[in-house]
Amino acid sequence: MARPKPLSGFPEYLPRGRMVELAVLDTLRESFELHGFANIETRSVEPLEQLSRKGEITKEVYVVRRLHAEDNDRGELGLHFDLTVPLARWVLEHSGHLQFPFRRYQIQKVWRGERPQEGRYREFTQADIDILGQGELAIHHDIEVPLVMLEALEKLHDQIGLAPVLMHVNNRKLSEGFYRGLGIEDTLAVLQVVDKYAKIGPQATCELLVDELELSSQVAQRCVQLAGIRTLDSGFVQQVRELGVRHPLLDEGLEELVTLVEQAHHRVPGRLCADLSIARGLDYYTGAVYETELVGHESLGSISSGGRYDSLASDGKNSYPGVGISLGVTRLLDPLLARHEFVVSRSVPSCVLVAVDDEDSRGVSDEVAAMLRSRGVPCEVAPRADKYGKQIRYADRRGIPFVWFGGLVGEIKDIRSGEQQPCDAHEWSPADDDRWPRVLPAE
């Protein structure tokens, strides 16, 4: 059989890369749970009508059907392209068993039929947090959610050397109110064009507004001027006011964004800025919106994004407004792993290799390994009863730092230093830095 070729857009990691990913996921889980978010997992498929919501699918969805299904028995199912739309369905199904506000985190694979490139994949892992209310949801959650994600990313910066991040925030009420103040009726269409501002620049954005949406050049220029405002503090308010547009929704959006920026300035200074070009083209966002870039790696685009949505989940009688943010774990890690931004202290979990004197005494080695594992020391037993020199070389090739000789009371050898000393499996423990593999920033 010929060697199989990699399938583009579906990343697979070697053990060292997977250890980095697991370290990141462990930190995210801990951070989210410290803030009271409960974990859920939703099914991988959803009805296409649920994924399309209003009949239009803006993402390239993978359709799922049975290979031998009859033409009249083909379920209209698709793999979910994010975790927010499935959450809306899940909440509607289980609302009777939930206490609101409901706080959830979810770490799962998602699928999109995109053209594979750096930072964009067909299968990737996302980590989401959301807070949902029943009927209403207090505005302070719009501040809480991005700060929780920033806290998690700060921990990754401290623990494994992830580059610092900068979160760009805006408020859809601010943008929509501004557009309405200019007399624009189809504000969503303008938002979807402005969402391209960071990629195509102000001139091209203005041209699209004029050519595609048939706005006057004067109105289009005002929209572009708004998108160009960016500050690390509340100074954006004065810049917006100087544009001379008035609307009640604009005032509401300004007030909410000021509160978010000022609170973030006190809790995570320098990690969040007001950026009025942030639009988030999806139609369900209704308030605060967030996009996050990795400082020094801006070419990756946004690694974490989200916002407030008031009408995504509704059964006609009850609505479940929410606010959430998603971190593209694969989008963040895959390019950094390819550039060797991280190193792992060893490529296997095992801290100790228990040597085998001969096959007749393998049971003794198994007993030693069982005792060490019961005390939280990851270990494995040598696969063959070779000469000790060969067993030591095997441990060295695997990256295992210690080799155990003898029974429960035996000797332990640190093969890095060559030091060997008596030990008791009931008592011996490695240093904390040796017990598990560690992820470190590359020098």
Sign of CA dihedral 335, 338, 339, 341: positive
Annotated binding site: 82-84, 112, 126, 130, 280, 284-285
Element at 231 (helix H, strand E): strand 230-231
**CB-hemisphere CA count at 13 Å for 344?**
21
Binding site per annotation, positions for L-histidine: 82-84, 112, 126, 130, 280, 284-285
Q: Answer whether 320's CB lies under 8 Å from 314's CB.
A: yes
2, 7, 11, 13: CA torsion to nearest 10: 0
Beta bridge partners of 308: 323
Pairing of strands 230-231, 123-132: unpaired
Structure tokens at 370: 């069982």
Q: Which of 398, 407, 402, 396 is nearest to 356 (CA)?
A: 407
CB 365 within 8 A of CB 356: yes
Contact between residue 378 and residue 349 where contact means Cβ atoms under 8 Å apart: yes
Q: Reduced to 3 states, what is the DSSP secondary structure of residue 18?
A: helix
Q: Which residues does 323 contact at the CB level (< 8 Å), separation at least 6? A: 130, 131, 137, 141, 142, 145, 287, 288, 306, 307, 308, 309
- In DSSP notation, 86-100 reads HHHHHHHHHGGG--S
On the CB side of 14, how many CA atoms lie within 13 Å of its CA? 9
Helix (H) or strand (E) holding 130, with range, is strand 123-132
Could you list the beta-strand ranges (E) of 236-374.
272-275, 288-294, 304-309, 322-328, 342-344, 352-354
As a whole number of angstroms, the distance between CA 428 and CA 43 comes to 44
From the list 385, 394, 390, the residue with the least C-alpha distance to 358 is 385
Please give the single-letter amino acid code of residue 59. K
Q: What is the DSSP letter of 193?
A: H
Report the 10 Å Cβ neighbour count for 58: 12
Query: What is the C-alpha separation between 249 and 364, in angstroms, rounded?
Result: 75
Q: What are phi and psi of 301, to 5 degrees?
A: 80, -160
